Amino acid sequence: MSSTKMRFLGVVFFILIPLLWWVPTNGVWRDYQNLLNHKDEVQLSLFTLWVPIGGFFAVILNSILMSITIISGKKARLIIGEHWTSSINKTCIYSALFGVIFAMMFALYSMKLLDEYGYEYSYELTKITPTGIHLMYVKAP
């Protein structure tokens, strides 16, 4: 692949990857703010909770790798070597696992707050989408 194509793809991914991380992270943050502000309806998205922490290190590492690609015009894997590629892959996997642990802890914390603030689970408003199960809670009368 030519260096121009590699640089172009590096720029595209340099923009795309953080955006793909930011969208679900912003949604999780918005849901948490709705809970803290005692809105009438609050959403808890279980599967997307791992993205803010679990995806953060992957976004940082991919941004570094895309910068190497943009500067050199070559695949970052060829520049940094196989040893570092293996280390980066392991770091991304551990980051994802850490994100799952964070998601479980945050879900339990959110459920505790939902109970304290007087919310009740709404089966009718709960949505199942390709991004996961979005549990809906409403203020108890």
Residue ranges of alpha helices (H) inside the chain are: 3-36, 51-54, 56-72, 76-80, 82-116
Its pTM stands at 0.80
Region 4-24: what's the mean pLDDT?
86
pLDDT at 88: 87
**Among residues of the chain, what percentage have pLDDT more than 70?**
99
Task: Identify the burial level of 98 via C-beta atoms within 10 angstroms of its C-beta, where 0-12 means exposed, 13-18 middle and 19 or more buried.
Answer: middle
| pLDDT, tens digit (0-9, with 9 covering 90-100), for 51-73 | 888 889 889 988 888 888 888 88
Q: How confident is the model at residue 116 (pLDDT cuts 50, 70, 90)?
A: very high
Radius of gyration of the chain (CA): 19
The structural domains of the chain, with segments of one domain joined by +, span 3-139
